[in-house]
Amino acid sequence: MKQIIRADLQNAIHQQGLIACLDAYARDPMGGGEPLAEDAKLRLINGLLRQPANVNFLAQHGTDIVGAAVCFMGYSTFRARPRLNIHDLCVLPTHRGQGLGRLLLQSVADYAREQDCCAVSLEVRTDNRTAQTLYRSQGFGHLDSPMEFWVKPLC
Ligand SMILES: CC(C)(COP(=O)(O)OP(=O)(O)OC[C@H]1O[C@@H](n2cnc3c(N)ncnc32)[C@H](O)[C@@H]1OP(=O)(O)O)[C@@H](O)C(=O)NCCC(=O)NCCS
């Protein structure tokens, strides 16, 4: 049976499942093609637990965790409503093409509506046609904006 659940980061099975999904994403060409660093894996769960805005969804196939959506709640000052960002979305390669990515996105959107969010946002590579097709089918679209994504690296 396939289902989407909220992750409980105190649950060791959920912890390992989430790390495995993020590692698979990192290894994917769309995630950079390199495994997650071991020290990042070690810090990840405690780091997320310290982020009050973090919420995570897991795709289960039977008892196996085979997909994940890592999200952070933000806030739109102009709309004066929360806005949920999907930071990572991944389904294990062995379980792709079975509708789990779509189910994850639907659960994220349901949660965002419950929280009175004005929108769900995400970033997607310009060459990630698979994800773009999925996102379009779920109502996402390219933001027509002159804004660029900038960063100041600190480590
Ligand atoms: C993107 C990803 C999450 C999709 O997960 P998935 O479970 O395979 O997707 P689904 O089975 O729910 O597919 C839903 C829809 O997406 C599109 N899609 C899925 N796989 C596709 C493919 N290989 N080519 C084109 N469209 C595809 C289709 O529109 C599909 O609907 P359909 O089956 O009715 O045709 C998965 O491919 C993945 O984890 N990729 C690596 C990580 C990644 O790129 N994440 C997104 C970062 S922005």
B/e letters for 70-93, b = 16+ CB within 10 Å, e = fewer, are: bbbbeeeeeeeebbbbbebbbbbe
**How many CB atoms sit inside 10 A of residue 105's CB?**
23
Residue 142 lies in a domain: no
Candidate from 4, 18, 85, 96 with most ligand 1 atoms within 8 A of CB, to mutate = 96
pLDDT of residue 5: 98
Model pLDDT for residues 36-51, shown as the tens digit of each residue: 999 999 999 999 999 9
Segment 135-152 shows an average pLDDT of 95
Give the CATH number for residue 122: 3.40.630.30
Residue nearest to atom 12 of ligand 1 (CA): 99
Q: What is the DSSP letter of 31?
A: G
Model pLDDT for residues 73-91, shown as the tens digit of each residue: 999 999 999 999 999 999 9
Which atom of ligand 1 is found nearest the CA of 90? 39
Label the pairing between strands 81-91 and 119-122: parallel
The side-by-side arrangement of strands in the sheet containing 119-122 is 2-6, 54-61, 64-76, 81-91, 119-122
- Could you give the CA distance from residue 35 to residue 40 in angstroms, rounded to a whole number? 10
Model pLDDT for residues 88-125, shown as the tens digit of each residue: 999 999 999 999 999 999 999 999 999 999 999 999 99
**How many CB atoms sit inside 10 A of residue 13's CB?**
14
Identify the domain containing residue 93 by its residue range.
2-137
**How many CB atoms sit inside 10 A of residue 131's CB?**
17
Residue 97 lies in a domain: yes
The total number of structural domains that make up the chain: 1
Residue 109 lies in a domain: yes
Candidate from 23, 91, 137 with most ligand 1 atoms within 8 A of CB, to mutate = 91
